[in-house]
A and B are shown apart, each in its own frame.
Chain A
Amino acid sequence: MSHVLSLIFAPGFFGSGPVQVALVTGGIVAIVSGIVGTFAVLRGQSYAGHALADISVTGGSGSFLVGISPLWGFVGISVLAAAVMDMIGVQRPRGRDLATGIVRGAGLGLAALFLYWDATYTSTTGATITILFGSMFTISSSVIPVVVLLSLAAIGIVATLYRPLLLSSVSADLAYVRGVSVRLAGALCLTAVALAVALSALTIGAILSTALLVGPAATALRLTNKPGLVMIWAAIIGLAATWLGVLLAFDSFYWPPARQGWPVSFFVVALVFAFYLLAQLPALIRARRA
């Protein structure tokens, strides 16, 4: 029995400090992303989420420049970008993607400049890789309280606005008639998305954090229709993908070709996608039979 266990969990898995930090932060972030992501998917804001994730690269690279923790850069810039997107009108369906894309392009342009300065003026090599693709095993344990605090903020927004947000996601007109401020609800929801994306930028990297936001929620929406249950399922799926990803990355240390471990982010993304495809299967089989 212990032999089988040691095959699954490579020796030293539970004793390793970085792994513990990765499991804790990764887990928290996955749960938050799943819950917030449910609304992002319901409201058709996958693109906004992805753009916010991309833009957080700007914050990450800027924070390397001034020498603060990248987390603050991620959070600050993506909340700011969410405000800009709301201002130039992402709440209208027509032209929404265009406005989102323009903000993203401008943000990434700045990121290019910051990364260039990072490379020339400060001697941080590898900043590009860390920011873009994350490095879960190098998170310092001191950020855990901040991560918890920001997670609570994101979940708090969604929990407070649960009913009006749900109503305005399903039918904006109905919500308006019932006296919901659709605009305000949308802006706050986008802020929650920005927080969630910034948090997962820390763990699986800025340009991959869309995976945790959209994937688990979309999979959960295939499994059930009840909004509360969707959130719970999304959190569970995200958590499973993250923890399995950490485990596989730890095990992959002796795998070919490089014998230096495969990136955690790759495993997390691949698992999220696999879950999504699996959830499609029943519908596919039903369609084949009919």
Chain B
Amino acid sequence: MFSGYLLNTWTVATIAAVVAGVVGFFIVLRGSAFVADAVPQGAFAGAAGASLLGINTLIGLGVFALIGALGIGWLGRRGRHDVATALALVVMLGLGALFLSFSVEYAPEIYSLLFGELFGVGTAEVAPVAVLGAVSVAAIIVMYRPLMLTSVMPELGEARGVSSYRIEMCFLVVVALATSMTLPVVGALLIFSLMIGPPAAARSVTNRPYLAMCLSVIIALVTVWAAIALSLMTNWPVGFFVGTFGACCYAAGRGWAAWRRRRAVRDDMDRPLAPQPVSQN
């Protein structure tokens, strides 16, 4: 399970989980699930194009993820945001379909791009992925305060001179970066589960941002490791486990929040009625 050629997979998956946990926290906080879903899925077209031209897949992924993120930001300013996201996404996917129809041997490759492939990670890919991961985490740390402000209270942010449009664009670029590195392992269709399942669960456990972020990284790590281990044992696609665990995390988080709310209500009811303080003036 930990033999030489799988070591790359474990390394890349670990980096991916850390980045997904950190970036995903803000995706959940900002409620930009659709964008986070669209960017990786669209980036898949870039991978198809890259394999057609015979260049490194990571470059194709990065370029398309960036174009997609910036295009969504640009189109979203002129019209409904969700419509812009949907249209940008389908255009990229349409291009992907075109590229795929040009290349000769596509079926297994496209399947692995869409649903993830454990054995597809070469030694040469580990360094770029590590660099991209470090850059995206660093970018989140640098943008932490304005990002937090515009996520929670955009109006206050504008009043303090923080352009929420510019922050949104920067954030989308980070999502694009994080996406293009996670994609080869987990697959285009399911990275997103890794990016929102763990953070959503963490958010329903605690309200403190740092703690929630740490927790979401931990849950993401456990999810990825368990998914890879199970995938190796059963030979089933890794994406299946990631998607299912993501949904389980979310369900557990919601269950926990609901249970706590109910207990809080019951505690309130059990408390003896104290005499109300009379106001003096």
Contacts and interface: CB of A to CB of B under 8 A. Distances in A.
A101 B33 contact: yes
Q: Which residue, B28, B95, B196, B243, has most C-beta atoms of chain A within 10 A?
A: B243
A54 B42 CA distance: 13
A20 interface: no
Interface string A265-290: 11011101100100010011000000
A269 B98 CA distance: 11
A98 B82 contact: no
B190 A108 contact: yes
Contacts of A128: 107, 110-111, 114
Contacts of A115: 111, 115, 237
A70 interface: no
Size band of the interface chain A makes with B: 35 or more
Nearest to A222: B79
A125 B106 CA distance: 11
A214 B87 contact: yes
B90 A208 contact: yes
B200 interface: yes
A113 to B, nearest CB: 4
Interface string A40-78: 010010110111001000000000000000000000000
B93 A218 contact: no
A44 B90 contact: no
Q: Which of A46, A112, A208, A261 neighbours the largest number of chain B CB atoms within 10 Å of its CB? A: A112
B246 A106 contact: yes
Given A100-B33, A106-B244, A113 B237 contact: yes
B58 to A, nearest CB: 22
A101 B37 contact: yes
Nearest to A215: B87
A272 B86 CA distance: 12
Interface in B32-59: 32-34, 36-37, 41
Contact of A47 (B33, B236, B242): B33
Nearest to A49: B86
B33 A116 contact: no
Contacts of B243: 105-110, 112
Counting chain B CB atoms within 10 Å of each CB, which of A88, A265, A283 scores highest?
A265
A210 B90 contact: yes
A50 B200 contact: no
Contact of A97 (B31, B83, B101): B31
Nearest to A99: B250
Contacts of A119: 111
A270 B196 CA distance: 30
B200 A102 contact: yes
Given A102-B197, A215-B90, A280-B79, A108 B239 contact: yes
Contacts of B190: 105, 108-109, 112
A132 B94 CA distance: 11
A234 B178 CA distance: 36
A-B pairs, 7 with minimum CB distance:
A109-B243, A105-B193, A269-B94, A106-B247, A97-B33, A112-B239, A211-B90
Given A116-B237, A276-B87, 13 more contacts: A41-B83, A105-B246, A109-B241, A109-B244, A116-B240, A133-B97, A205-B97, A207-B93, A210-B90, A218-B79, A270-B91, A272-B87, A284-B78
22 contacts: A95-B31, A97-B31, A97-B32, A102-B193, A102-B200, A105-B196, A105-B247, A108-B190, A112-B115, A112-B190, A112-B239, A119-B111, A129-B107, A208-B90, A211-B90, A218-B80, A262-B98, A262-B101, A263-B101, A266-B94, A273-B90, A273-B94
